[in-house]
Amino acid sequence: MFSIPRPSRRHLLVGSAVGALALAATAVLPTTNAMAATGCAVTYTTNSWQGGFTANLTIKNLGDPVSNWTLGFTFPDGGQRLVQGWSATWQQSGSAVTGRSLDYNGTLGTGASTTVGFNGSWTGSNPSPTSFTLNGTACTGGTTTPPTTPAPTTPPPTTPPPTGTTPVAINGQLRVCGVNLCNQYGRPIQLRGMSTHGLQWFANCYTDTSLTALADDWRADLLRISMYVQEKGYETNPSAFTAQVNTLVDKAEARGMYALIDFHTLTPGDPMYNLERAKTFFATVAARNAAKKNVIYEITNEPNGVSWSTIRSYAEQVIPVIRAADPDAVVIVGTRGWSSLGVSEGGNSDEIVNNPVRAENIMYTFHFYAASHKDNYRNEVQRAASRLPLFVTEFGTVTYTGDGAVDTASSNAWLDLLDRLKISYANWTFSDAAEGSAALRPGTCAAGTFTGPSVLTESGAYMRDRIRTPDAFPTS
Ligand code: IDC
């Protein structure tokens, strides 16, 4: 129905260290380690855009075990700058960059790897560095062994392949690294999926058949489970809505999709109105789902008419409740002005950068409706994305009313931007509501067939085309 030109989603430049054997590694070894076999291999993968880039490095120790390490390399272009890194303590001096191990990843056995990374900026060009050192040894991909030490006989272990090909099988437990959402290998990923409509109205849209279509036909990575709190939602029957959410978490898990549990507050806009309900709800769902790898918590949908400091205070009361039960899950915090980073109420993301939520492993919500929110919102997302981990937990291809025609030009501009920045998203809605944002034609859910071109609306056809392109998730 549509032919949408799609830029390649990944711009990869892979450089591995070559040459430099002449550097006679033994000459630069610390004296305490003089007899140790040394060797290493580093791969450098970058995702670059005008003026900025993300770099991910996998460091493999091919020599004897080390208990801490310092990685070194030089940026080839004088305009390249390290902005913010993760999984190491980073420093730049001139063009020379060092990354020192942290407590948790300093120990690297023979053949062991670890992944680190950073966000950077560039001016002239952005070439990848091609030579690296580890504890002073040039990483040539081989081992340098002092003559008196026999060469290691055990080959470095290879990373086992993932046990399945679903998004959850490949990516496992997610965590925030720098401004990205990262998978179990510490590599940035983007999840693309759909949001339910209100569970109180559209329960018949979320069945085994429909969710299989979402996972297999749409190839979605993510199901956002939108549990309204008001409007005949959770507040009217907490245990029934909690059970409904948990059932959908299981259905998503069975199909290898991530499940984003959305505490869908909207009116009133002050999240504090629902604070006690939120604590009760999240204590229950976090305890019940703690062992699962596919759950992400969205603690408030669209705060509005309240200050950032109120939202922050809400977050700092709800997040500990989740962490107490499920310590490793990613939590997403709504932002001011209907999760517009403040823009819809005259603010911007500086209020968050200057006063972030005091918790680890969190991201911040951004929402847009393509026919209503255009360049000024896109510019703010682009600006914020280098400083804050963002997740577009809801957006529409239409106007903010949830209705109207698809704005293809604006939707393309938005999704191209999110792809480039690796910002995850969920589209409003995977439902057959009689409104332009719904992906399914009215009557589809009652009829019970969810595949084939006749079930999709214009927005649904557009979104399915965008979502079903390959993910190319990193697997090591
Ligand atoms: C809309 C639904 C509509 C429903 C209304 C009120 O599309 O059927 O009657 O909510 O509950 C949001 C909200 C989301 C809105 C959506 C479209 O998060 O609940 O859904 N929207 O208006 N923020 C901006 C737009």
345 is catalytic: no
CATH class assigned to 18-144: mainly beta
Please tell me the predicted confidence (pLDDT) of residue 117: 86
Measured from the CB, is residue 231 less than 6 Å from ligand 1? yes
Dihedral of CA 83/89/92/96: which sign? negative
Residue 176 near residue 363, CB atoms below 8 Å = yes
Ligand 1 atom closest to Cα of residue 301: 18
Residue 398 near residue 370, CB atoms below 8 Å = yes
360 is catalytic: no
Pairing label, strands 258-264, 89-93: unpaired
SS3 133: strand
Q: Give mean pLDDT in consecutive 10-residue pieces for the chain, a chain of 476 residues.
A: 41 37 38 69 84 86 92 93 82 92 86 86 89 92 65 49 80 97 97 98 98 98 98 98 98 97 98 98 98 98 98 98 97 98 98 98 98 98 98 98 98 98 98 98 98 95 98 94
Ligand 1 atom closest to Cα of residue 339: 23
pTM score of the predicted model: 0.71
CATH class assigned to 167-467: alpha beta
The DSSP result for 230-284, as a single string, is SSSSGGG-HHHHHHHHHHHHHHHHHTT-EEEEEEE--SS--GGGGHHHHHHHHHH
Which position among 253, 302, 351, 380 bears the catalytic label?
A: 302
Measured from the CB, is residue 338 less than 6 Å from ligand 1? yes
Q: How many angstroms does the Cα of residue 429 sit away from the middle of ligand 1?
A: 10
Q: How many angstroms does the Cα of residue 428 sit away from the middle of ligand 1?
A: 8
The DSSP result for 379-390, as a single string, is HHHHHHTTTS-E
Angle at 394 between CA 392 and CA 400, to 5 degrees: 120
CA dihedral 145, 151, 152, 158 (to 10 degrees): 80
Please tell me the predicted confidence (pLDDT) of residue 308: 98
Please tell me the predicted confidence (pLDDT) of residue 27: 40
Q: How many angstroms does the Cα of residue 300 sit away from the middle of ligand 1?
A: 14
Helix (H) or strand (E) holding 378, with range, is helix 375-384
Measured from the CB, is residue 262 less than 6 Å from ligand 1? no
Please tell me the predicted confidence (pLDDT) of residue 146: 59
Q: Select from 228, 394, 428 the residue to mutate for testing ligand 1; criterion: most ligand atoms less than 8 Å from CB.
A: 428
Which position among 351, 380, 394, 435 bears the catalytic label?
A: 394
Measured from the CB, is residue 403 less than 6 Å from ligand 1? no
Terminal CA-CA length for the chain: 37
Please tell me the predicted confidence (pLDDT) of residue 83: 80
* Domain residue extents for the chain: 18-144, 167-467
Instruction: List the residue whose alpha carbon is closest to atom 3 of ligand 1.
Output: 402
Ligand 1 atom closest to Cα of residue 438: 7
Residue 361 near residue 391, CB atoms below 8 Å = no
